[in-house]
Amino acid sequence: MRNAQVKTGKDLELNAHDAVENLVEIIARLGAVLANETIYLRQLKISNITALQKEKEELITLLEKARKQIDANLNLAGEFTPQEMQELETVGRIFSEIAAENYRELKKAREVNRRVIACISVAATDYFANQRGYNRKGVSGGMAKKQDILPPLSVNNVI
């Protein structure tokens, strides 16, 4: 695949073939990025996903520009050949399947993250609740009450 570049400005005299080619290329590349992201989500390799975000954002921007150009030149869509329409429909269907799978995996990863954070919070709160010493009310020597303890804990809670 060539690099997806939407023609803009003085190149706005886009023909139907170029418009479809641009759109298909961008959608295919975005689908590949989402597929990689889905793999990393399954493996819970969240740091690897971060590296994909810039490319994903750039492709989304290109996709929006390509769609706006086609919308601004309504006659272009009427000039698509049946083969171009078929290619566009096929890549669109495949992309939709990839995006749906990505969404499912993202929901799973978020749920795993939520449960881990909840377990850490409960464990830390229980641990600090059983510690002797001063609580925030200045009571010492006895067991601190669970609600009086604010454990010094910070966890990155974002996926």
Domain range annotation of the chain: 9-107
Distance from CA of residue 131 to its chain's centroid?
Answer: 41
Q: Is the pLDDT confidence value at 15 over 90?
A: no
Tokens of 139: 């009571």
Amino acid residing at 94: I
Q: Is the pLDDT confidence value at 33 over 80?
A: yes
pLDDT in tens, 41-78: 999 888 899 989 999 999 999 999 988 888 888 777 78
CB 141 within 8 A of CB 28: no
Tokens of 23: 């759109």
132 phi, psi to nearest 5 deg: -90, 155
This prediction's pTM: 0.70
Q: What is the pLDDT of residue 62?
A: 95
pLDDT in tens, 98-144: 999 999 999 998 898 889 888 888 887 777 666 666 666 666 655 44
